[in-house]
Amino acid sequence: MSQNSVPTVVLGVIGADVHAIGNQILEHALEEAGIEPVNIGVMSSQQEFVEAAVETGADAIWVSSLYGHGEMDCRGLRDKCVEAGISDILLYVGGNLVIGKCSWEGVKELFLNMGYDRAYPPGTRPQDAIDDLRQDLVEQRESKDVVCSLD
């Protein structure tokens, strides 16, 4: 993870999805909030998310999926992170994750079970996710401190 004080977030749109606008808004919102965005753009593969996170020492990966194939595209990302040595990176996912009539609670659970730390429904304000990120990073640091003091 990045050793400097500014958190880094890799963000992009996964799969064959070409919806660019929301992702650009997220990038601006992160920048405004003093977080370093690494935007890998649309039509990004899991591999590209992981490689970008490894090389930039990112604290979190934010995956967007808006075309309804989210479940298929997002599955296995956590495993790849574990494999690449960044197992404790925060994974957030958001967008129109599935098509069809499903309750949001069900969808959320599906993605949390796939190893994502947070999942967001359509209409979420960027600020909400940014607030969550700050909180998660603080918690992560505290839990690491606990581990260190136990050593």
Partner 1 sequence: MSSALLIDIGSTYTKVACFDLERAELLARSQACTTVREDVNLGLQQALENIPGWQQADYRLACSSAAGGLKIAAIGLVPGLTAEAARRAALGAGSRVVKTCSYELTEADIAELEDLAADIILLAGGTDGGNQEIILHNARLLADSKIEDPILVAGNRSAADRVAELLDKGKKEFYLTENVMPELEKLNIEPARERIREIFLERIVKARGLDRVTELIDEVVMPTPAAVLRAAEILARGTSEKEGWGELMVVDIGGATTDVHSAAAGTPTRSGVSQRGLEEPFLKRTVEGDLGIRYCASDLFQAVKPNRWQQLYQSFYEKDLELQQLEDYVNKICQQTEYLPVSQEETELENMLGREAVRLATSRHAGSLRTIYTPRGASFIQEGKDLTGIKKVIGTGGIVVHNKNPELVLAGVLQENQLEEEKLTPLAPDFYLDDDYLLAAAGLLAEVEADAALRILQKYLKEIDQGEKN
Tally the residues of the chain: 151
Which one, of 124, 98, 122, 100, lies nearest residue 111 by Cα? 98
**Residue of 19, 69, 132, 136 marked catalytic:** 19
Strands 8-14 and 60-65: what pairing?
Answer: parallel
| C-alpha–C-alpha distance, residues 129 and 33, integer Å | 11
Roughly how many angstroms between the first and final C-alpha of the chain, as a whole number? Answer: 20
Distance of closest approach, residue 27 Cβ to partner 1, in angstroms? 13
Interface size with partner 1, residues (CB under 8 A): 25
Q: Is 150 helix (H, G, I), strand (E, B) or coil?
A: helix
Distance of CA 58 to the CA centre of its chain: 10
68 binding partner 1? (CB under 8 A): yes
Distance of closest approach, residue 105 Cβ to partner 1, in angstroms? 26
Distance of closest approach, residue 128 Cβ to partner 1, in angstroms? 26
Q: Is 140 helix (H, G, I), strand (E, B) or coil?
A: helix
**Residue of 17, 59, 73, 117 marked catalytic:** 17
71 binding partner 1? (CB under 8 A): no
151 catalytic residue (yes or no): no
Question: In this complex, which beta carbon is closest to partner 1, that of residue 69 or of residue 75?
Answer: 69
Distance of closest approach, residue 85 Cβ to partner 1, in angstroms? 8
Which residues form the catalytic set? 17, 19
Which residues of this protein are in contact with partner 1, per CB under 8 A? 2-4, 6, 8, 16-18, 36, 38, 40-43, 48, 51-52, 54-58, 67-69
